[in-house]
Chain A
Amino acid sequence: QSALTQPPSASGSPGQSVTISCTGTSSDVGGYDYVSWYQQHPGKAPRLMIYEVSKRPSGVPDRFSGSKSGNTASLTVSGLQAEDEADYYCSSYAGDNNYVFGTGTKVSVL
């Protein structure tokens, strides 16, 4: 199972929006509505930010939103804040009880 494709980096100024893409295939992202997004600060464990494409767990700011079109999922962070600077990973169910993560995107707040 190949990793989902994410851009290596993305950036924006405070208050701006940034969107991260996550491209897979019809066997993973395109085939199931089980796409999740995780935020990871350096030296810390990942944190779930979005599940089932667009749902937010309790405690996650509504500045974070998710969507999907075809084989590509997206995470948008609106109103960027300094604490949003982190690595972000998408993940998708890939059938046959397997899961796959994305390659990761480093978000910088300029």
Chain B
Amino acid sequence: EVLLVESGGGLVQPGGSLRLSCAASGFTFSDHYMDWVRQAPGKGLEWIGRTKNKGNSHVTQYAASVKGRFTSSRDDSKNSLYLQMNSLRTEDTAVYYCARDTDAALDYWGQGTLVTVSS
């Protein structure tokens, strides 16, 4: 069974940093691209980034809204994906999901972790 479990969310002040983790199991993690998607309270889904697999040099891409502030990385030996979030803004408040990317579709999602940016 494919399972994705995010952790690391919480309350942080504007300008602060937070690191999210996504633990994967039930599939060959190293083979897959992995994505991050967020959802602000009461709002729609927003794609924020993608980390390719080892065969594609773990290249990452980001949405313009987080580029330069967020960094996605992965440790295939630990079946884990990470999102380092710096210079956080109030508008970054959202539930953050990690998702498995298969041929440009997100076929498995974690349960999400809530990040609240507030003073």
Residues in chain A within 8 A of chain B (CB atoms)? 1, 3, 34, 36, 38, 40, 45-48, 51-52, 57, 89, 91, 93, 96-104
List B contacts of A1 (CB < 8 A): 63-64
A24 to chain B, nearest CB (A): 14
List A contacts of B106 (CB < 8 A): 36, 38, 46, 48, 91
Excluding A34-B105, A46-B37, A98-B47, 6 further A-B contacts by CB distance (< 8 Å) are A36-B106, A47-B109, A51-B102, A51-B107, A57-B107, A100-B47
In the complex, are the beta carbons of B44 and A91 less than 8 A apart?
no
Provide 29 A-B residue pairs closer than 8 Å at the C-beta atoms, listed in order of the A residue.
A1-B63, A1-B64, A3-B44, A34-B104, A34-B105, A36-B104, A38-B45, A45-B109, A45-B110, A45-B111, A45-B112, A46-B37, A46-B106, A47-B109, A48-B105, A48-B106, A48-B108, A51-B102, A51-B107, A52-B104, A52-B105, A91-B105, A96-B61, A97-B50, A97-B61, A98-B47, A99-B35, A99-B50, A99-B104
Interface size class of B (residues with CB under 8 A): 20 to 34
Complex CA distance for A103 and B97, rounded to whole angstroms: 17
B5 to chain A, nearest CB (A): 11
List A contacts of B50 (CB < 8 A): 97, 99
List A contacts of B102 (CB < 8 A): 51
List A contacts of B64 (CB < 8 A): 1
Residues in chain B within 8 A of chain A (CB atoms)? 35, 37, 44-47, 50, 61, 63-64, 97, 102-112
In the complex, are the beta carbons of A101 and B112 less than 8 A apart?
no
A46 in contact with B109 given A52-B103, A97-B61 (CB within 8 Å): yes
Complex CA distance for A95 and B115, rounded to whole angstroms: 29
Complex CA distance for A100 and B35, rounded to whole angstroms: 12
In the complex, are the beta carbons of B97 and A51 less than 8 A apart?
no
In the complex, are the beta carbons of A93 and B104 less than 8 A apart?
yes
List A contacts of B47 (CB < 8 A): 91, 98-101
